[in-house]
Structure 1
Amino acid sequence: MTQTVVSGRKRLTISPLRYPGGKGLLYSRLRTILRVNHLTSSIYIEPYAGGAGAALALLISGQVEQIVINDLDPAVFAFWNAVVTQANDFAALLNSVELSVDEWERQHEIYLTADRDDHLQLGFATFYLNRTNRSGILNGGPIGGKNQKGRYKIDARFNREGLSERIRLISLHADRISVSNEDGRRVIERYSARDDAFIYADPPYFEKAGSLYLNAFHSSDHQALADCLASVHRAKWILTYDNVPTVATLYPNYRRRLFALNYSAHRVMKASEIMVFSPELSIPEEIESAHTDLVRMAATTTEGGR
């Protein structure tokens, strides 16, 4: 388990995946939301899990009792299922696989053609590409290029020791992790009537969705998710999106707060995103304060540009 500090905030890095839009940096905020709302003994659900960075950090640090990792992408699901149910076999592959362009080509072919039910083979190929591709994007190319003439080489993000430790940690908590491969809305509906459920919906975003996500949303998908969350009356939930006007259109009657994952002042507005809260959820003061600061900064930037 890797622990780093970002502007005074602790970030636990447990997920073995590098993921576009990964929300491991939200760990401290989610922890505060859970504590303020007395949900630390809850079951935590990520219907659009991806790298599941926040879910794993909350589970392994003792903030929640159980987690649900769901992803519609069969390759991402295969990875999580293999890690949770076949950790030793997965770790053996991790520690023995060759890190080369030839092996990348082989794993890429497996990723494209493997039986969807062979979770270990498909899941490991998914992991291999994620750790050796530029920015972790599965449909991208290898770090350093196929000629390996780049500044960084194909093994730059493949720290066997550290990654093996993450797999081991996950295996120790496997009996408290549920993995599924469904439409995110079905997962939300399944847990919507539970008082002890906390749902964190982090769907594909609006901007650059096609280039970052293999299962990008269309307008109808965003609307269907909004309708689904509107029907949840017992479980607590939050939703995060990129900061675009459409979010206010989809969620006009819900409290929305800006937050930033990048704490660098000169880039903060590029990194600002929106968190939407279910009606009965209490919003922690630190989130309110961060929202106020971002609104003030946005106003100052607008005035300065006139």
Structure 2
Amino acid sequence: MIDSDTPMRHHKKPIISPLRYPGGKASLYTRLREIVRANDLTGGTYVEPYAGGAGAALGLLVTGQVRRIVINDLDPAIYAFWKAITTEPQEITRRIERAELTVTEWSRQKDVYLNAPRDDYLNLGYATFFLNRTNRSGVLNGGPIGGMDQTGNYKIDARFNRETLIERLRLISLHAKKISVSNSDGMSVIKRYSKRDNTLIYADPPYFEKAGSLYLNSFADSNHSDLAACLNAVKDAKWLLTYDNVPRVADLYNMRRREVFSLNYSAHRVTKANEVMVFSDALTVV
């Protein structure tokens, strides 16, 4: 069993996701690529039951490491965003091109985000995207960059580079037929895909102590326990899991291999934190 105190290497990554996520796992791209190759999963399916920004998933797909990705998120706003950009990329692109980067528009999009019907994925998805790009650290329940009075050092448009964002959407649209988007409970996704061959599941659930998360859906202790029971029950499938490095993880996954790694967080201020990666018995770890 691995329970290392030596942090793993921090890798550069392709930046493809249009969303900003504090502590997003796109930085694990190189490690995940190595795991895909070591397990003969090149050309297979990669699944993120708690996708969020899906940075690693998109990196693996666009660079040809996997043939198909599954982006699942129980948060209806995050789901709406992925649904919108994979089915209506031209409309989202048009809105980005015409976006008014003002506090007035921010307030309007905030209202859409809070009040739009959950099945209005186009308007809800765009509002989610707009707030993610214009809020401090991308946190959806936060305020705009620069404040409501726009007196901060950075203004509301600081993270809204139209050309870059449109190019990311264009790249994703080229691969849209290889992307499955769903709005299910993460454990149901794990149970479904754990039965399939040539599949890697990467679970990155809401953490025990992680602050500044974009998730509207936090986990209670019972949720963490249920997830552990779910993953431990399919130890012969190929999966890995990341968590904040707290003692409870070692308790829940005491029979699984574990490895500590360091990750930079960008919520409010840049910090580095140790996290832990847990591996299924069937996974070849490199």
Q: TM-score, normalised by structure 1?
A: 0.86
* TM alignment of 1:210-249, pairs within 5 A: 213-249=215-251
Q: Which moved more, 1:203-212 or 1:275-284?
A: 203-212
Per the alignment, residue 19 of structure 2 pairs with: 17
2:206 maps to 1:207: no
Q: What is the CA-CA distance between 1:192 and the residue it aligns to?
A: 1.1
What is the DSSP-based 3-state SS (H/G/I as helix, E as strand, rest coil) of the residue aligned with 2:13?
A: strand
Q: Which moved more, 1:85-94 or 1:201-210?
A: 201-210
Number of equivalent positions: 273
Determine if contact 1:42/1:196 at 8 Å carries over to the other structure. yes
**For the structure 1 residues 178 and 212, does the alpha-carbon distance in structure 2 shift closer, same or farther, using more than 3 Å as the test?**
closer
Per the alignment, residue 175 of structure 1 pairs with: 177
Kindly indicate whether structure 1 or structure 2 has the higher relative contact order, using CA contacts under 8 Å at least 6 residues apart: 2
Per the alignment, residue 165 of structure 2 pairs with: 163
Identity of aligned residues (%): 64
Aligned-CA RMSD value: 1.6
Determine if contact 2:11/2:29 at 8 Å carries over to the other structure. no
C-alpha distance in structure 1 between counterparts of 2:70 and 2:210, whole Å: 27
Structure 2 letter corresponding to 1:230: N
Structure 1 letter corresponding to 2:67: E
Determine if contact 1:194/1:234 at 8 Å carries over to the other structure. no
Per the alignment, residue 39 of structure 1 pairs with: 41
Instruction: Select 2:143's aligned residue among 141, 144, 150.
Output: 141
Q: What is the CA-CA distance between 1:41 and the residue it aligns to?
A: 1.7
Determine if contact 1:196/1:235 at 8 Å carries over to the other structure. no
Q: Which moved more, 1:8-17 or 1:148-157?
A: 8-17
Per the alignment, residue 151 of structure 1 pairs with: 153
Q: What is the CA-CA distance between 1:20 and the residue it aligns to?
A: 2.3
Q: What is the CA-CA distance between 1:213 and the residue it aligns to?
A: 3.0
C-alpha distance in structure 2 between counterparts of 1:270 and 1:118, whole Å: 37
Gaps of 5+ in 1: 1-6, 264-268, 285-306
Per the alignment, residue 126 of structure 1 pairs with: 128
C-alpha distance in structure 2 between counterparts of 1:213 and 1:233, whole Å: 27
Per the alignment, residue 268 of structure 2 pairs with: none
Q: What is the CA-CA distance between 1:212 and the residue it aligns to?
A: 5.0
Per the alignment, residue 119 of structure 2 pairs with: 117
Determine if contact 1:15/1:166 at 8 Å carries over to the other structure. yes
Determine if contact 1:71/1:181 at 8 Å carries over to the other structure. yes
Deviations 1:11-66 (A, max 9, x none): 10000000122101000000011111111121000000000000000000000010
Q: TM-score, normalised by structure 2?
A: 0.92
Q: Which moved more, 1:270-279 or 1:75-84?
A: 270-279
